Every structure is written in C-alpha cells, then in structure tokens.
Amino acid sequence: MLAFLVFLCVGIPAQSIAMRLRRSAPINPSIVFCRVLIRVLRVKISVSGAAHSSRPLLLAANHVSWIDVLALGSLSGFSFLAKREVGSWPLIGAIARQQGTVFVDRKRRRSIPAANAAMAERMLEGRRVLLFPEGTTGDGRALGVFRSSHFASARDLLARVGAAEAEDVAVQPVAISYSALSAAWLGDAALLPHLWQVLTGEPLRCRIMFGEPLRFARGADRKLIAREAGSRVALLLAAAPALAVAESQRQPRDEAQAAPEAAAAAELCVEEPKLA
C-alpha cells in the first residue's frame, strides 16, 4: 500500500509533465501510467478484439468498477465521460483529468448538452471517446439499461461537419468482466476501502472484449443505437461468461495438481496488451 501511494505521489505529477511534452514522445504517457498502476494492483488483462481504427469513434462499455478506467486506459489513449464528482476524488480524479475526461453533472440534465459538445470536440480532435451508458456500476452479472443521452454527442458532431469530413460516427460496444465479484465497486461505496480490498485480496483478472462497431449516420435515432449497443455488449458477455463464474465452477482434483494447472491456464489466457 505504501509503495502504491508513493508511486501516485510521484507518478501523477510526472505524468502531468510528460503529457505536456507528449508531442516528442512515441508513447502516450497516460497509457504507461495506467499500465504501471494495473501492475501494482495485480490485475491481469486479456483482450479480445481492439478499438476500431475508424474516426470519429465513440465506444460504449458496461461499467463494473473504477478499475475499468485503468484497464481500458492501459490499452489506448481513451477520453472518458464521467460524473462531475470523479474530478474531486483522490488519485482517480487526477488520472481522469490527465486523460482528457469530460465531466458531467448527472443531477442536472441541463449539463448534458455541454458534455455532449465536449465529447464531440474530442472526437473531432481524433480522440477515442468512451462512455459508460449505464450511468452507474454493476456487479458484472447483470447489464443495466444503456441510456441514450450521451449518444447524442455523435449527432452533435455530424451537425458540425460536412459529409465530406464525416459521413457517420462509429459506435463500438465494449464488454468488461472480472475474475471475482470483489472487483465490483457498487453504489456509493467509499473508494479507499475498496482500493485496500483490491490491493490485499486475490489478484484479479480482467477480460475486455471489443465488438464490431455500429454506424451512427445522419438522422439516426440515438435511442435505437443505444439499445443495439447494449444488446451487443450483452451478447459479448454471454458468449464469454464472467470470469468469476468460471472460477467458481472449477473444481481441482487435488491441491498438488491444481497449482501447476492453474498457473499454466493463467499463462495461456493472459495477453499482454499492446501499446497504442
């Protein structure tokens, strides 16, 4: 825990400086920072598919934990949409600001248009924007309703540019699952106790699955796009059952044989994410 806090005290300011100098850097400092944090947290990531090469690109993922942001951020330089309170959280808030996160006040619907405009601006800059349409976290076993409000950022982008610049926006579904229910960060649970639980509990495995993108064309219905994105995330999760369920169903024949088999299985299932 002490090493983790020391790293953050040094790492966040260092990342801030590196982000200012990133034009000369071949690798996004935010990706490196998230990757180091994921290693410190002892989270192993396996990936199926990849963020699509289309631009503009909006990604929509289910939401389980604050770890989601670090896991996704270790793969690519995403810009996230988050509730306003995240900006004031210790540790996570600083990381979110460095990633170019768009903050929205979920208690004020009037803040949605400004957030959508900011998301559209980031997509026009060529960034990959990722939102969690459920609007809250779940335990990973049941998928919440994908709310459509922020899918309107794609419509706002298309309204600002001509067809020659962008005919549509790619909307890519992303599914996330973990090897233990302890990864879930639910409701108004305090951050630091859950962080301690992750640091002192069993190492976690996180599976990230990228689906085929939808096309948000001019005149598209954002509610239909949100519903279809949610359906595709559900299919991704169903096709690859939650790691937590798979672990609970595995019955080793004996402890001596189970240990080497588990180690071999872990080596096979874990892919080292590529820097983007």
154, 171 Cβ separation under 8 angstroms: yes
49, 275 Cβ separation under 8 angstroms: no
Contacts of 221 (CB under 8 A, 6+ apart): none
Ramachandran angles phi, psi of 133, nearest 5°: -65, -15
pLDDT at site 25 = 52
115, 81 Cβ separation under 8 angstroms: yes
**Residue 261 one-letter amino acid:** E
pLDDT at site 241 = 65
CA 10 to CA 8: how far, in whole Å? 5
Give the predicted TM-score (pTM) of the model: 0.78
Judged by DSSP in three states, 6 sits in: helix
Ramachandran angles phi, psi of 68, nearest 5°: -50, -45
pLDDT at site 71 = 96
Range 97-109 burial, b when 16+ CB lie within 10 A, else e: ebbbbbbbebeee
pLDDT at site 258 = 42
User: Beta-carbon neighbour count of residue 121 at 10 Å?
Assistant: 17
CA 149 to CA 246: how far, in whole Å? 34
Q: At what angle do helices 152-160 and 222-239 cross, to 10 degrees?
A: 130
Backbone dihedral region of 100: left (phi > 0), alpha (psi from -120 to 50 degrees) or beta? left
CA 255 to CA 29: how far, in whole Å? 42
22, 184 Cβ separation under 8 angstroms: no
pLDDT at site 10 = 45
**Residue 41 one-letter amino acid:** L
Ramachandran angles phi, psi of 168, nearest 5°: -160, 180
170 strand-pairing partners: 57, 215
Q: What does each of the 276 residues of the chain score in pLDDT, given as a tens digit?
A: 444 444 444 444 444 444 444 444 557 788 998 999 999 999 999 999 999 999 999 999 999 999 999 999 999 999 999 988 888 777 677 878 888 899 999 888 899 999 999 999 999 999 999 999 999 998 888 899 999 999 999 999 999 998 778 999 999 999 999 999 999 998 778 888 999 999 999 999 999 999 999 999 999 999 999 999 999 999 999 987 656 545 545 444 344 444 444 343 333 333 444 444
Ramachandran angles phi, psi of 191, nearest 5°: -70, -50
pLDDT at site 15 = 46
pLDDT at site 26 = 59
Backbone dihedral region of 26: left (phi > 0), alpha (psi from -120 to 50 degrees) or beta? alpha
Ramachandran angles phi, psi of 127, nearest 5°: -80, 155
* CA end-to-end span of the chain: 29
| Cα-to-chain-centroid distance, residue 14 | 23
* Domain range summary for the chain, segments of one domain joined by +: 2-179+188-247
The token duo for 172 is 């890519």
* Highest CATH level, class, for 2-179+188-247: alpha beta
